């Protein structure tokens, strides 16, 4: 498929021998038109190339304001990895050790469905946070995720401009900023695996679209991002398969058409040789990303990949097609998930079971029909960028419907729809964006045709605008649209709430500091929790992570599923025992390390930490 960028390049000047030269010509001329630079002056081409990237980056940063604000708020609150985040942070610390993780985060799907251990496919999330988990401050882990998500948004905006120019760039930026209001605020900087893949998955949508338009240099990046999101959580497996199929199929089709339309002087095999270094690099990236899961599969019987397959095959009764159709309606139909602020971050598990309104059903049908028409017309006119974008939207609709319909009906797993449907916001954004962009292109083509007819029939003279006035008007328009994007991002950031575990942050730091004050680094500890309630239970994984950072080996019964055998107690000798208990009841023969009193959403809490040296 050929993208809009290459088409614009062909129209703006003389014929060029390849897509690379076409895009370079379009890029430098577009930058010159925007900045008023004469490209005939020697040495100014580089400045033009730099300038043309500034609007995209600035617009992407404006779209990422909600992510930046959420991350800054977490840092000010003294973020710590509470709950499952503590397990993920500990496994991130383990990456640079002899017991580096080979699989991803623990999943209860294996126990509930098949009765055995199952994890997410791979450890790339742990690799991502390995350095900040070990060498940075605790809050640097959240900052890392905030930076990754912000860069993913900037990448989406940059690719949107390459595909559709300034109009699609600003539409994408405003749409992403609005979409952020539909996601939990902490998901924008959280390392919890369902949230950690959201914005990289959105970037994967734009990358695969560009890949389908013939940009083969994105092959290694595509493989890297796809491996990351699939290894992070299985909820991304089906939509990622759709994206890779469309991107890979479109790339093959574009290469075939290019060889037929513009054969190189070196013969038809020359264009094939140009792509092989990128294909080889992509294969090497895939091998590096999936080496750890492959080793786990070889070393264990059954391996984690085999357990995933068994779980999918024997998942038991599913929720059914009605839930799948509702998921598509809530993602696409009016009002879609991406355009409103939810009352709870978990409410989508009830949304997909509620009966949608007639207006939502009818609007979904209308939008999907418009998407199909855009794809068919785009293919008929040779606009494979539009056809590929429409095909991605339709494939993602099928993926979310299948994912919701095949979700196990057992209560514990049915509740996971509260977060596995989060990517429905990104699906709705994509479908609405492509339908609106296709409508804009149609209206623009019709207006140009009408203007041509009017000029030809009535011989109307259209005065050419002065170059300086044209440049000034474009700059003013760009600055105005950029200011509007900043305003939208700022307004969305104002709706954000504090993290769900923010009330635990300072108590966790106090408890961990008290234990570290009495226990020297390099000790082997047994961590014992004495009946922590729903409010204080998330403190245990975070305190464990603090002690691991302190240099201690923390053992406990039941650590095997989530942390592996290295942290399981078994019959290993320990030097200290640490007790985390609710309340102020004295513990005989133990030393009080710290006690905190604080208020949680469940009421007033008292958490005490006691230590005992084993003789």
Q: Output the 3-class SS for 111-144.
A: HHHHCCCEECCCCHHHHHCHHHHHHCCCHHHHHH
- Do 514 and 453 lie in one domain? The reply is no
| Sequence-ordered list of residues with C-beta below 8 angstroms from that of 589, at least 6 positions apart, any chain | 612
Whether the Cβ atoms of residue 441 and residue 165 lie closer than 8 Å to each other: no
Same domain flag for 512 and 407:
no
The alpha carbons of the chain give a radius of gyration, in whole angstroms, of 27
Which stretches of 13-122 are DSSP H helices?
19-35, 45-63, 65-76, 84-94, 109
Distance (Å, whole) CA 173 – CA 153: 8
Written as six digits, the tokens of 354 are: 């509620």
Residue 159 to residue 154: CA distance in whole angstroms? 9
**Residue 422, pLDDT score:** 96
Domain containing residue 422:
316-460
Burial class (CB in 10 A: 0-12, 13-18, 19+), 337: buried
As given in the structure block, the two tokens for residue 518 are: 């009495």
The torsion region of residue 286 among left (phi > 0), alpha (psi -120 to 50) and beta comes to alpha
Number of domains comprising the chain:
2
- Evaluate whether residue 221 is within a structural domain: no
Q: Do β-strands 603-613 and 576-582 pair in parallel, antiparallel, or remain unpaired?
A: antiparallel
Judge whether 213 lies within some domain: no
Q: How far is CA 285 from CA 19, 197, 460, in A?
A: 25, 18, 59
How far from 475 is each of 25, 158, 176, CA to CA, in Å?
Answer: 21, 18, 23
Residue 228 placed within a domain: no
Q: Does residue 259 contact residue 275 with C-beta atoms inside 8 Å? A: no
515 and 421 share a domain?
A: no
Residues 332 and 450 in one domain: yes
Q: Which of 460, 487, 511 marks a domain boundary?
A: 460
Last residue of a domain, one of 432, 460, 488: 460
- Co-location of 455 and 564 in the same domain: no
On whether residue 612 sits in a domain, the answer given is yes
Query: How many CB atoms neighbour CB 310 within 10 A?
Result: 16
Q: Do 404 and 529 sit in the same domain of this protein? A: no
Residues ≥6 apart with Cβ < 8 Å to 11: none
Are 438 and 546 part of one and the same domain?
A: no
What is the number of helices (H) and of strands (E) in the chain?
A: 27, 7
Confidence (pLDDT) at 462: 55
Paired tokens of 589: 């023969």
Mean pLDDT by 10 residues, the chain (615 residues): 39 40 45 42 48 84 97 96 95 94 88 75 96 94 97 96 93 96 94 96 97 93 97 95 95 78 51 76 96 93 88 85 95 94 90 93 96 94 92 97 92 87 96 96 87 69 66 85 95 92 94 95 92 90 96 93 92 93 89 94 92 90
Q: What is the rounded CA–CA span in Å between residue 249 and residue 522?
A: 54
Burial class (CB in 10 A: 0-12, 13-18, 19+), 575: middle
Question: 10 Å Cβ neighbour count for 154?
Answer: 21
Residues 445 and 323 grouped into a single domain: yes
325 within some domain: yes
- Cα–Cα distance measured from residue 5 to residue 62, given in angstroms and rounded to the nearest whole number: 23
Residues 431 and 523 in one domain: no
Pairing of strands 118-119, 591-600: unpaired
Of 615, 540, 526, residue with least CA distance to 570? 526
Residue 596, beta-bridge partner list:
607
pTM tops 0.85, yes or no = yes
Q: Look at residue 26 in the predicted model and tell me its pLDDT.
A: 42
Q: Is position 251 within any domain?
A: no
Per DSSP, what are the bridge partners of residue 599?
604
Domain end point (choices 410, 437, 460):
460
Whether residues 415 and 505 share a domain: the answer is no
- Tell the residue number behind the tokens 């203007």, with chain if given: 451
Three-state secondary-structure class, residue 388: helix
Are 327 and 453 within one domain? yes
The owner of tokens 């797993």 is 413
The answer as to whether 214 is a domain residue is no
Residue 177 lies in a domain: no
The angle subtended at Cα 492 by Cα 237 and Cα 177, nearest 5°, is 45
Q: What is the pLDDT of residue 48?
A: 52
- Say how far apart CA 155 and CA 199 lie, in whole Å: 10
What is the sign, positive or negative, of the torsion defined by CA atoms of 381, 386, 392, 393? negative
- Contact between 441 and 386 under an 8 Å Cβ cutoff? The reply is yes
- Give the Cα separation of 122 and 102 in Å (integer): 6
> In which residue are the tokens 């940075």 written?
136
Q: Are residues 430 and 530 in the same domain?
A: no
For residues 157 and 199, give the distance between their C-alpha atoms in angstroms, rounded to a whole number: 12
Q: 109 Cβ partners below 8 Å, 6+ apart? A: 118, 234, 311, 315, 408, 413
| Sign (positive or negative) of CA dihedral 453, 454, 460, 465 | negative
Rounded Cα distance, 90 and 429, in Å: 35
Structure tokens at 38: 């004469």
């Amino acid at each position: 498929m050929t993208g809009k960028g290459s088409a614009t390049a062909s129209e703006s000047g003389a014929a060029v021998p390849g897509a690379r030269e076409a895009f370079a010509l379009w890029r430098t001329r577009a930058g010159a038109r925007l900045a008023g630079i004469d490209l005939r002056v020697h040495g100014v081409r580089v400045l033009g190339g730099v300038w043309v990237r500034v609007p995209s980056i600035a617009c992407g940063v404006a779209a990422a304001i909600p992510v930046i604000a959420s991350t800054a708020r977490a840092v000010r609150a003294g973020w710590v990895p509470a709950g499952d985040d503590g397990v993920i942070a500990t496994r991130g610390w383990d990456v640079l050790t002899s017991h580096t993780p080979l699989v991803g985060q623990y999943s209860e799907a294996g126990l509930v469905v098949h009765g055995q251990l199952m994890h997410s496919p791979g450890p790339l999330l742990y690799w991502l946070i390995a350095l900040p988990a070990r060498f940075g401050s605790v809050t640097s882990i959240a900052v890392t995720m905030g930076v990754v998500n912000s860069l993913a948004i900037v990448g989406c905006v940059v690719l949107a401009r390459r595909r559709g120019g300034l109009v699609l760039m600003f539409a994408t930026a405003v749409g992403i900023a609005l979409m952020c209001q539909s996601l939990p605020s902490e998901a924008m900087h959280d390392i919890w695996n369902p949230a950690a893949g959201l914005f990289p998955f959105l970037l994967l949508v734009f990358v695969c679209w560009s890949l389908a338009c013939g940009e083969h240099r994105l092959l290694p990046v595509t493989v890297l991002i796809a491996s990351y999101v699939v290894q992070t959580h299985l909820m991304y497996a089906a939509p990622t398969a759709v994206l890779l199929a469309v991107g890979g199929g479109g790339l093959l089709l574009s290469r075939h058409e290019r060889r037929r339309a513009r054969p190189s002087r070196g013969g038809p095999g020359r264009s094939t040789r140009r792509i092989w270094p990128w294909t080889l690099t992509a294969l090497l990236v895939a091998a590096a990303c999936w080496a750890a899961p492959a080793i786990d599969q070889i070393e264990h019987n059954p391996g984690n990949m085999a357990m995933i397959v068994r779980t999918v095959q024997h998942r038991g009764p599913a929720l059914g097609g009605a839930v799948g159709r509702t998921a598509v309606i809530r993602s696409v139909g009016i009002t879609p998930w991406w355009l409103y602020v939810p009352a709870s971050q978990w409410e989508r598990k009830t949304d997909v079971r509620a009966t949608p309104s007639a207006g939502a059903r009818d609007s979904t049908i209308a939008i999907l029909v418009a998407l199909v028409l855009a794809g068919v017309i785009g293919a008929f006119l040779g606009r494979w960028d539009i056809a590929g974008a429409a095909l991605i939207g339709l494939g993602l609709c099928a993926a979310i419907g299948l994912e919701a319909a095949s979700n196990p009906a057992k209560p514990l797993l049915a509740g996971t729809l509260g977060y596995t449907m989060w990517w429905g916001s990104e699906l709705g954004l994509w479908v609405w964006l492509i339908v609106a962009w296709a409508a804009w292109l149609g209206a623009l083509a019709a207006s140009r045709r009408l203007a041509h007819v009017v000029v030809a029939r009535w011989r109307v003279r259209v005065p050419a605008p002065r170059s300086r006035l044209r440049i000034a008007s474009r700059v003013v328009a760009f600055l105005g649209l950029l200011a509007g994007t900043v305003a939208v991002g700022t307004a969305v950031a104002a709706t954000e709430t504090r993290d769900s575990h923010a009330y635990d942050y300072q108590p966790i730091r106090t408890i961990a500091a008290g234990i570290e004050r009495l226990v020297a680094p390099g000790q082997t500890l047994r961590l014992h929790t004495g009946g922590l309630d729903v409010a204080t239970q998330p403190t245990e994984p975070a305190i464990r992570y603090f002690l691991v950072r302190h240099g201690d080996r923390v053992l406990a019964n039941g650590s095997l599923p989530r942390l592996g055998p290295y942290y399981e107690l078994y019959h290993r000798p320990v030097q200290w025992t640490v007790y985390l208990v609710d309340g102020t009841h004295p513990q005989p023969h133990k030393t009080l390390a710290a006690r905190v009193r604080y208020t949680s959403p469940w009421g007033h809490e008292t958490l005490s930490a006691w230590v005992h040296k084993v003789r």
